[in-house]
Structure 1
Amino acid sequence: MKLRTALLAATMGVVPALASAQPVDGLYIGLMGGYNIVQDTDIGTRPTANPNSEVSFDGGWAIIGRIGYGFGRLAPWLGARVELEGNYRDNSVDEIRLNRVRQTGVGGNQRTYGVMVNAIADLDPGLGFLYPYVGGGVGWAWTNWDGVRWGGAQRVDDTDNNFAFQGIAGLSVPIDAVPGLAINAEYRFFGTLQNEFAVRNTPGVNRVEADNYNHTFLIGLRYAFGVTPPPPPAPAPAPAAAPAPARTYLVFFDFDSAALTDRAREIIAEAAANAPRVQATRIEVTGHTDTVGTAAYNQALSLRRANAVAAELERRGIPRSQMVITGRGFTQPLVPTGPNVREPQNRRVEIVLR
């Protein structure tokens, strides 16, 4: 017990508290807003063709709301989620060129709104405070040219709908003070199939075809439901007057491993040698893990670690019938942390001679 207390005090004195977050496990919602750029758009006109024609847009704005579901960790470094998204983008027309000739009296807006289904992979580089993610989506979008005109007269006021697609790259920073809340920053490439609009008041032209490709830069918040802060450490039990204090040994492990290191074998050998000297009648072998991964995975890993230590004790002459072998997963950390923290002091097996 004295060794455990000393290790805890030393670790908490040198390791800063970092915000951390497990990849989303369960329902979440999010809202983002930002800056939208529409690529210069090549246009085609019918029935009279006007080659080398394009529309340029000013920078505009975008807003995106979403609801999704996360599947937690699929691997120590990977999580996955799916989401349903509603989006809106608005940009003003800056310039129209027909047959390379810049038109006068230009105005109007392009507005795009749609519904997308996205699949996203969350990555964990082991930093403890920054989580990149990538993904993509497909859906349906409506593109409206509202009052798009040249030559001083309104020419296009129409809406078309089409298949939409997008690529997503972002960074998530959890807010440790509010479990489940994270700040997200994203880039999205969003596009639709070619749209076709009706044209009015233009002799020889009654239809215009236009691409719609967007570069969108966003920032916002995501909130995952059901995330609770880690429980406070249990108070230390009152010291017993008798019998004599138990002898405790700590055996540490590498990340996601149950293999014994050379140093671990030395500690186990010391425990085995001292068991007869303290007249131990029971030897408790208890495995623990850090908080990376699911509860079920860590429970199994902690038991594998305990069995590895028990096998080494048995090899050194301690009968297995004298041992109590258990796994505690990440429920009893030596160093209290948030979820998904690679804390070396918590990857351990405790040997207690009683």
Structure 2
Amino acid sequence: MVNVLYDFRIGLPVVPYIGAGVGYGWNEIEKGTSFGFPSTQTKGEFAYQGILGVAYELGSMVPGLAITLEGRYYATLDPSFKDQSRVSPTVSQQVNWKPKNENVSALIGLRYALYTPAPPPAPVVAPVAAPALARTYLVFFDWDKYNLTERARQIIAEAAGASRKVQTTRIEVAGHADRSGSAEYNQRLSQRRADAVAAELVRQGIARNEIAVSAYGESRPLVPTADGVREPQNRRVEIVLK
């Protein structure tokens, strides 16, 4: 018989399986044992079988080895036996017999896989890239003020720390103002804001000659507004690491 088996892998050592097989089977009838048959004959017929079983894998002890318990239904096509039976010295008659050949069996056994699949490789965890350090930091101010808030000092400290980790050759500090005052006043106010941020950077350990300070007044708003409008996002100092 040639059998084909299919395992149902469920992630456990217990593996159910089904199978089917085809082949060739021989049926033999012995003289006189069945209805007084006159001769011993052997007939070959196409054979087939169905298989249902379960295997318990012993991989922890012997990789590839498993204990099996299975049931099989085996049968062949019905063989046909023919002969002449002598009734008397002068009289004979045709003897025909076409028996069925099928059986059900239960088997306990061992099976060994010659080529056990290699265990799956351990998942490769992609390295998590460190977040890129920002190169532009914004420090915001209250209306008509240039003194630094606690949050402003935190942002300046972050910029100072980042300048030590990236290839920084220069730090640009640019002051800005909103359009709520005159252009001349806003120019001076943006300068004071830029100077305050530069002084804090120096306090954080940045050399003064590495800092370039500039002031743009109300000429470069982050949010364009009409003249006289108080816009919080325009009251700022930009720190750019270069």
* Smaller-chain TM-score bracket: 0.3 to 0.5
Higher strand share: 1
Scaled by the length of structure 2, what TM-score is found? Answer: 0.45
TM-score, length basis structure 1: 0.31
Look at both structures and tell me which one has the larger radius of gyration over its CA atoms: 2
